[in-house]
Amino acid sequence: MHPMMNQFKKYKTVMCPNCGFVQSTYANNIFKCFKCKKIREFIAKPSRNSPTSLNIKILFDSDNPNEVSRFTKRYKNAKNPE
């Protein structure tokens, strides 16, 4: 597990840095995007604004998988209203 991942809870809503697809995951090291099929590793990417940032955007995290699932659905609906 990447040391920075210790600050996040077990389940996460992440955004793929390759295609921007938003999905839920419980990955701690790597995850595979459901849309573009790219396998991405969680890597620390320090910047001037945030010395403790990751290369993958984590939008929400929780120990409850239902909370993460609900957040992911709400986020997607807000971005793409029907």
CA gap 10, 29 in Å, rounded: 12
pLDDT at 60: 93
Residue 46 in 3-state DSSP? coil
Confidence of residue 47 (pLDDT cuts 50, 70, 90): low
**Starting from the edge strand earliest in sequence, which strands make up the sheet with 11-15, in order?**
22-25, 11-15, 57-62
| Total domain count, the chain | 1
CA gap 25, 35 in Å, rounded: 14
Q: What residues make up the domain containing 47?
A: 3-79
- Mean per-residue pLDDT for 37-52? 76
The neighbouring-strand residues paired with 41 are 30
Confidence of residue 2 (pLDDT cuts 50, 70, 90): very low
